[in-house]
Amino acid sequence: MNNIFDSHAHYDSEAFDDDRKELISALPQRGVCGVINCATDMATCEVSLQLADEYDFIYAACGVHPHEAEECAENYLVPLREMCLKEKCVAVGEIGLDYHYDFSPRDTQLKIFEEQIILANELQMPIIVHDREAHEDTMNLLKKYKPKGVVHCFSGSAEMAKEVLKLGMYIGLGGATTFKNARKPLEVAAMVPEDKLLIETDCPYMTPVPFRGQRNDSSLIPYTAQVLAGVRNTTPEEILETTRRNANKLFGTEL
Ligand code: NI
């Protein structure tokens, strides 16, 4: 049965340039029912929408990633709003803060993140949040605007997860839960309520063990589901079914 719903993928990445079509076309035969392709800048917004047009089971998230915040044109919100309004765009993302790499100055990251949260709230769309080593500033903005959405590749503590859940947001977990040093993500994986859990790849990155180091894709999600099932005392099949249902609810899809 097809019940792998990958809530966070980047099939626009150049890592898929050699075999994108073959790989994506084969995903449904490998159990995949849905994919949210997350943009990181204006160009990848367009590619995400093209992929969504091409494949029934792919939907797009349009937004500007903190890494690209500084490259953003002055009036980016005008074309971004237009793209968000397209039928197959179901979220504003991925957006957020990254104080690990600091590729854009922090004040620019904060400005672009805040503007896009406001846009999402106006359009009544969920956001897909990237938070790397910026937990406090991320939480402050989420508490201020109370958007719908998911904190993807959740890397905070169980304490922070409680705060996110209090806001009604979802927690996205992926390959990082399978890594050797995955103490915190596993604590979080154990405590997220059943109706707030999403599963994801962040492909081509974050490949689950035993394929860590190779390119990731949505068909490898069962390896993550296996680990989540272990800490949640359930079956991988149940994890896939639950996360499929939750993703459909958050994104308004029927996959
Ligand atoms: Ni991502």
Backbone angles phi, psi at 203, to 5 degrees: -65, 145
97 Cα–ligand 1 center, Å:
12
pLDDT band for 148, please (50, 70, 90 cuts). very high
- Nearest one of 94, 64, 35 to 216, comparing CA atoms: 35
The stretch 93-110 carries a mean pLDDT of: 96
Mean pLDDT of 147-166: 96
Residue 69 alpha carbon to ligand 1 centre in Å:
15
Distance from the alpha carbon of residue 202 to the mean position of ligand 1, in angstroms: 5
Mean pLDDT of 160-175: 97
Query: What number is the average pLDDT over the span 119-138?
Result: 97
Q: What percent of the chain shows pLDDT beyond 70?
A: 100
Task: Answer yes or no: are the C-beta atoms of 6 and 27 closer than 8 Å.
Answer: no
Three-state DSSP at 199 gives strand
- In the block, tokens 């899809």 appear at 253
User: What pTM was computed for the model?
Assistant: 0.97
Q: pLDDT tens across 193-203, in order? A: 999 999 999 99
Q: Which of 232, 203, 208, 205 is nearest to 9 (CA)?
A: 203
pLDDT digits 0-9 by tens, 37-77 = 999 999 999 999 999 999 999 999 999 999 999 998 999 99
Cβ 89 vs Cβ 62: under 8 Å: yes
Which residues does residue 89 pair with via DSSP β-bridges, in sequence order?
60
Residue-wise pLDDT tens digits, 86-95: 999 999 999 9
Give the number of other CB atoms < 10 A from CB of residue 215.
15
> In the 3-class helix/strand/coil scheme, how is 131-192 assigned residue by residue?
EECCHHHHHHHHHHHCCCEEECCCCCCHHHHHHHHHCCCEEEECHHHHCCCCHHHHHHHHHC
Q: What is the model's pLDDT at position 1? A: 74
For residues 59 and 36, the answer to whether their CB atoms sit within 8 Å is yes
Distance 9 CA to ligand 1 centre (A): 6
Tokens of 90: 């179901």
Query: Does a cis peptide bond (omega within 30 degrees of 0) precede residue 204?
Result: yes
The stretch 128-152 carries a mean pLDDT of 97
Q: Quote the ligand 1 centre to 94 CA distance (angstroms).
A: 7
- 106-125 pLDDT tens trace: 999 999 999 999 999 999 99
- CA–centroid distance, residue 38 to ligand 1 (Å): 7
> What average pLDDT does range 162-175 have in this prediction?
98
Ligand 1 center–CA 8 separation, angstroms: 6
